[in-house]
């Protein structure tokens, strides 16, 4: 063998003579062991490479699937955010479009009458009693009606307003009447007519025409109190375009009486003082024109028994 081979393996002569045996023998056995086990090492390296490639493929696949799921979740969240924004954007607009007047006052079913307004002259028009409560302030409006505002028969309405926490300063007679007619009276066409005396004190008078078919001429009256906080408001509308009768409106105010003051004794005191100033519909003496019986079917008739006794004396 050449020099290069001699550096790695022993020659036959060396083995026969025993030269370099202690040094070369381990090398020979090592080379022989490597030749026998080289395929196993190569196989293991190939398996390692295949395992590494498989792990990389799995990791890449998991990463792609995870990214896809994250993107899907993000898209779903974005869609929900857009839908929520649209819902919360539309709701305030719908609420703002609703008239506030529809929710401020609530009609009370079958109210207990706190006042009485007997008007036998309007018995054919029909009588109605209603009460409304303020939704937040607790104010109370007792409304007495004879006839219909939009009808063609004579119509009388008196409202007693006792404000609660919603109280705002009472407005002028023209503004208060316009607010109660629901747009049927033009505020610019309401004409002040001075004042009218009543048992409650001077009443501010206004005249207006309802925008109905047929048109109706009405006489409005308003009186506000500071103590107790209370407002008496109403109108009388004739059956045609002629001027409304002031005497009938004054008589209605004279007959307005308190039936129950509830928890407000000051209202009871106010009506008690007003009773001392009654004119009994133009007749100063209660004997000549007695207080009418309460109720829609009441008829103003003198007390014949009382008259007989007075005549006897």
pLDDT value, residue 43: 58
pLDDT of residue 292: 45
Q: Which two tokens stand for residue 290?
A: 């007695």
Task: List 42's β-bridge partners, or say none.
Answer: none
* 141-174 CB burial, b ≥16 within 10 A, e <16: bbbbbbbebeeeebbbbbbbbbbeeeeeebeebb
pLDDT at 91: 44
Domain spans of the chain?
12-95, 104-303
Helix (H, G, I), strand (E, B) or coil at 293: coil
**Nearest-angstrom CA–CA distance, 204 and 104:** 27
Tokens of 168: 């705002």
CB within 8 Å of 300: residues ≥ 6 apart: 120, 289, 290, 292
- Cα–Cα distance between 308 and 285 in angstroms, integer? 17
What's the predicted TM-score (pTM) here? 0.59
Cα separation, 181 vs 172, in Å, equals 15
C-alpha closest to that of 177 among 198, 193, 197: 193
The pLDDT score that the predictor gives to residue 30 is: 63
Q: Answer yes or no: are the C-beta atoms of 286 and 280 closer than 8 Å.
A: yes
- Which positions of the chain have pLDDT values less than 50? 1-9, 90-101, 285, 287-313
- pLDDT at site 221: 96
Q: How far apart are CA 65 and CA 85, in angstroms?
A: 30
pLDDT at site 283: 75
Residue 74 pLDDT: 83
**pLDDT the model gives residue 204:** 96
Return the pLDDT at 68: 76
pLDDT at 200: 96
pLDDT at position 63: 67
Contact 105, 99 (CB under 8 A): no
pLDDT of residue 297: 40
CA 301 to chain centre: 50
**Residue owning tokens 């219909």:** 148
* List of residues 6+ apart from 58 with CB closer than 8 A: none
């Amino acid at each position: 063998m050449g020099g290069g081979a001699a550096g790695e393996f022993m020659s036959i002569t060396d083995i026969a003579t025993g030269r370099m045996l202690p040094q070369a023998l381990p090398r020979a056995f090592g080379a022989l062991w490597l030749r026998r086990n080289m395929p196993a090492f190569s196989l293991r390296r190939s398996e390692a490479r295949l395992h590494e490639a498989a792990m990389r493929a799995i990791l890449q696949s998991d990463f792609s699937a995870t990214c896809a799921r994250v993107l899907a979740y993000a898209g779903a969240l974005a869609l929900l955010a857009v839908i929520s924004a649209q819902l919360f954007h539309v709701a305030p607009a719908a609420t703002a479009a609703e008239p506030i007047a529809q929710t401020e006052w609530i009609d009370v079913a079958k109210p207990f009458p706190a006042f009485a307004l007997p008007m036998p002259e309007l018995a054919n028009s029909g009588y109605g009693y209603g009460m409304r409560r303020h939704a937040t302030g607790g104010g109370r409006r007792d409304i007495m009606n004879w006839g219909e505002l939009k009808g063609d028969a004579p119509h009388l309405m008196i409202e007693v307003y006792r404000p609660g926490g919603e109280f705002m300063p009472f407005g002028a007679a023209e503004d208060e009447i316009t607010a109660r007619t629901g747009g049927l009276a033009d505020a610019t066409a309401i004409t002040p007519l001075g004042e009218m005396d009543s048992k409650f004190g001077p009443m501010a008078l206004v005249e207006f025409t309802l925008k109905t078919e047929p048109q109706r001429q009405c006489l409005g009256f308003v009186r506000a109190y500071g103590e107790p906080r209370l407002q008496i408001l109403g109108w009388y509308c004739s059956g045609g375009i002629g001027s409304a009768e002031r005497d009938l409106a004054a008589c209605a105010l004279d007959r307005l009486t308190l039936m129950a003051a509830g928890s407000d004794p000051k209202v009871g005191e106010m009506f008690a003082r007003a009773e001392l100033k009654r004119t009994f519909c133009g007749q100063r003496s209660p004997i000549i024109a007695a207080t009418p019986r309460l109720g829609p079917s009441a008829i103003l008739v003198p007390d014949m028994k009382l008259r007989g006794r007075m005549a006897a004396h």
